[in-house]
Amino acid sequence: MAGLRWPDAQELLVLLLGLLLVCYLIRARMSNKLPPGPSAWWQLVNIFSSDRKPPHIQLEQYRKRYGDVTTLYILWMPIILLSGFQTIQEALIQYSREFAGRPRTRINDLLTKCQGIIYAPYGRSWKQQRRFTLTILRNFGLGTITFEEKILEEAKYLIDTLKAPLEGQAADPRPVITSAVSNVMCMIIFGRRFHYEDKTFKHLVGLYDQMLRIHSGFWMRICAVFPIILYLPGPQQRIFENQAAILAILQGFIEQHRETLSGETIRDFIDAYLLEMEKERDGSPDSMLTEGNLLHDIHDLFLGGTETTSTTLYWGLLYMMAYPDVQVKCQKEIDEVIGRSRRPSMEDSSDMPYVSAVIHEVQRYANIFPVSVVRAMTQDTAFMGHQIKKDTLVLINLYSALTDEGQWKHPHQFNPENFLNDSGEFFKPDAFIPFSMGVRACLGERLAKMELFLFFTSLLQHLEFHWPDATTSPNLEGQYKIVVEPQPYEMLVRRRETLGDL
């Protein structure tokens, strides 16, 4: 062992140049019908870059140079980037199934075993998980008054938490916002809400936050390109340690439900899944309702149902402080339509065009998912004059649709007029696609819309939000953590005058 040594800088440079040569030779043998794009240096630079800026900034530069259909490379592996609303719409609607796959990478296989909803490949298992999940959500009253009441009850806890200890002193609202939104998912999945200081609850929420940071970090990028590193000791093993900790907690909830399961009362998602799994075990031996899929479905629901909505609300409060005139106009409309004593209802949204426009503008301008979860082609496809082979990776540049200059009045400004017509009525442009489109559009879109309207309206009905330092302005530049979230901030919370009972 004494004779072993690390290669010096010159030897590493030779190895790197050799690797690049191999990449270019492989690329030269590929079809010349792929769209144009930058060189393979792009990924080599970005893999080893410590820059945490959102990826859409660089992708938009490529779009301007190469067009709405661009080829990027991870070494010799091509990735097709789709930009612009018309291009995205054609791909995800007219070629919906062809663009509906997920890449079979080694790291995804190890983390999910192709189970669940978010990262599962397009096929029978994914279709059954999605269909069954939507059925359960409908059965539990999604879109009904009963479901609204659950969200409004959580909004009450959130408001009480914000106005009691935080009034008069600046504090970061992110933890309590995340806890409130997480509790809505807990009621759906586990059949109960948790106190914000519950140890298990805080630990689970913290693990998900840690997971997002790990998955957007340096080692995740390295392991995606060089899978062999997954089998070596080192800091990259935190990816699996974090996943194991999350799944262990979720498995514990499943076992608790199994011990108290009763066919007479279906308490939540886990109950419904376990009962249906038992039913199909005898009648449908090839059913894809399995223990593994249940575990990963819960994982995906908690992740997707918490992070997107809580981050959007976090942005929303920041924008209300950055644009206090918008906050005042929202509160004026809330007072006129709802008042101070009655709880909001989804039925109110049709009578509140300005508040609806503001909520949608927060989603558009915050742009928390500038690039959708990576897809893969399910078959060889001729698309817009290019031949794209099966299993080719595809990125959907949602940011380009949400800022498309041909679709929006003020594409690069925060302005609720993007969702108001000349008569002041709410309207939604076709290019508003923060939940993506087609067969793999976000299945939690309806739930997210309910939560955003009810939480946002309840908060502004009873509280005012102020930037604590009059000498500075809010920082509206985001940071990338799978989703784009605000830089951590503190705010002042004040009760609105003459509050009614919540």
Q: What is the CATH number of the domain that holds 183?
A: 1.10.630.10
Does pLDDT of 488 surpass 90?
Answer: yes
Same domain, 332 and 198: yes
Which residue(s) pair with 495 in the sheet? 463
Same domain, 255 and 333: yes
pLDDT for position 300: 95
Say if residues 103 and 391 touch (Cβ distance below 8 Å).
Answer: yes
Place of tokens 């590193």: 229
Write the single-letter amino acid at 93: I
What are the pLDDT digits (tens) for 442-465? 999 999 999 999 999 999 999 999
> Are 429 and 307 part of one and the same domain?
yes
Q: Helix, strand, coil % (nearest 5) of the chain?
A: 55, 10, 35
pLDDT in tens, 243-286: 999 999 999 999 999 999 987 889 999 999 999 998 887 767 77
Locus of tokens 């109950």: 271
Dihedral sign from CA coordinates of 300, 301, 303, 304? positive
Q: Record the pTM.
A: 0.90
Question: What's the rounded mean pLDDT across residues 185-199?
Answer: 95
Q: Which of residues 377, 402, 427 is at a domain's end?
A: 402
Output the CA torsion 24→27→28→30 (10° steps): 170
The domain boundary residue, chosen from 357, 387, 402: 402
| 214 plus 306 within the same structural domain | yes
Nearest C-alpha neighbor of 176 from the set 168, 188, 187, 164: 164
Q: Give the 3-state secondary structure of 442-468.
A: CCCHHHHHHHHHHHHHHHHHHEEEECC
Q: Does residue 210 share a domain with residue 87?
A: no
Residues 382 and 361 reside in one and the same domain: no
Q: What is the DSSP letter of 71?
A: E
Q: Does the residue 60 lie in any domain?
A: yes
CATH number of the domain where residue 88 is located: 3.30.43.20
> Is 108 part of any domain?
no
Domain range for residue 131? 114-367+403-495
Q: Which residues contact 110 (CB under 8 A, 6 or more apart)?
A: 230, 240
pLDDT at 230: 85
Which pair of structure tokens corresponds to residue 278? 């038992």
Q: Which two tokens stand for residue 279?
A: 């039913």
**Do 385 and 491 share a domain, yes or no?**
no
- The pLDDT confidence band at residue 194, using thresholds 50, 70 and 90, is very high
Nearest CA-CA partner of 435 in 378, 376, 364 = 364
CA–CA separation, 458 and 367 (whole Å): 23
In angstroms, the first-to-last Cα distance of the chain is: 72
Confidence of residue 235 (pLDDT cuts 50, 70, 90): confident
> Residue 260 class from Cβ within 10 Å (0-12 exposed, 13-18 middle, 19+ buried)?
exposed
Question: In this model, does residue 178 exceed pLDDT 90?
Answer: yes
The string of DSSP letters for 257-303 reads HHHT--TT---SHHHHHHHHHHHHHHH-TT----HHHHHHHHHHHHH
Q: How many CB atoms lie within 10 A of CB 296?
A: 24
* CA–CA separation, 15 and 251 (whole Å): 45
> Following DSSP, what letter does each residue of 190-238 receive, concatenated?
TSS---TT-HHHHHHHHHHHHHHHHHTSHHHHHHHH-GGGGGS-SGGGH
Shared-domain flag, residues 50 and 150: no
Q: Which of 2-6, 109-113, 115-119, 468-472 has the lowest mean pLDDT?
A: 2-6
Boundary residue ending a domain (349, 382, 402): 402
Judge whether 109 lies within some domain.
no
Do residues 24 and 136 share a domain?
A: no
Residue 215 and residue 72 in one domain:
no
Q: Can you tell me whether residue 409 is helix, strand or coil? A: coil
Q: Is residue 147 in a domain? A: yes
Summarize pLDDT for 122-172 with one digit per residue, the tens.
999 999 999 999 999 888 888 778 889 999 999 999 999 998 755 568 889
Give the rounded percent of residues in the chain with a pLDDT score beyond 90.
67
pLDDT at residue 4, as a whole number: 47
Under the banding of pLDDT at 50, 70 and 90, the label for residue 107 is confident
Q: Tell whether 290 and 348 lie within a shared domain.
A: yes
31-88: per-residue pLDDT in tens?
456 888 886 555 555 544 545 455 777 788 888 889 999 998 877 778 999 999 999 9
Q: What is the mean pLDDT of the chain?
A: 88
Looking from the CA of 25 toward its CB, the CA atoms found within 13 Å total 6
Q: What are phi and psi of 394, to 5 degrees?
A: -135, 135
Give the H/E segment covering residue 318. helix 291-322
Give domain status of residue 501, yes or no.
Answer: no
Number of domains making up the chain: 2
Q: Which residue has the tokens 């190895």?
A: 15
| DSSP secondary structure letters along 331-359 | HHHHHHHTTTTSPP-GGGGGG-HHHHHHH
| Residues 321, 270 within the same domain | yes
